[in-house]
C-alpha cells in the first residue's frame, strides 16, 4: 500500500505536528519509502508466535499504597511556559 497525502495529513494531525502542505509532501515521500522497506516483514511466518511485550525478563512489581510523593508544587510549576498562581495556563478550551 502506498501512503497518500490525506493519510499523511491525518497522521500529522493525530501527532499534533503542524506541517505546511509543502512539508507534508516531503514527509509523505520519506515515510512512503520507509513503509515500502517494511514490506520485507511480510515474508516472515509469525503463525502462532506471540508478540513480545517488554523484554520478558521480569514480572511487574507492585508498590505499597503509601503516600511518598507530591507536595512539590514549586517543582511541578518550575518549568511552566505559562502559569497563573498555582495553575498551568492554556488558551480557553471550549467544551
Residues 23-62 touching another protein, rule: CB under 8 A, are 27, 30-31, 33-35, 37-38, 40-41, 44, 46, 49-62
Q: Write down the least CB distance from residue 16 to another protein, Å.
A: 4
- Which letter does DSSP use for residue 43 in this model? G
Helix (H) / strand (E) element for 84: namely strand 83-84
Distance (Å, whole) CA 38 – CA 2: 12
User: What is the rounded end-to-end Cα distance, in angstroms, of the chain?
Assistant: 38
Give the interface with another protein as residue ranges (CB under 8 A).
3, 7-8, 10-19, 27, 30-31, 33-35, 37-38, 40-41, 44, 46, 49-73, 75-82, 84-95
Amino acid at each position: 500500500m502506498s501512503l497518500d497525502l490525506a493519510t499523511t495529513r491525518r497522521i500529522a494531525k493525530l501527532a499534533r505536528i503542524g506541517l505546511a502542505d509543502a512539508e507534508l509532501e516531503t514527509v509523505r515521500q520519506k515515510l512512503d519509502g520507509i513503509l515500502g522497506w517494511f514490506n520485507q516483514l511480510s515474508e516472515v511466518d509469525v503463525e502462532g508466535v506471540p508478540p513480545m511485550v517488554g523484554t520478558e525478563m521480569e514480572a511487574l512489581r507492585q508498590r505499597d499504597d503509601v503516600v511518598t510523593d507530591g507536595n512539590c508544587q514549586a517543582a511541578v510549576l518550575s518549568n511552566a511556559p505559562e502559569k497563573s498562581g498555582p495553575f498551568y495556563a492554556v488558551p480557553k478550551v471550549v467544551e
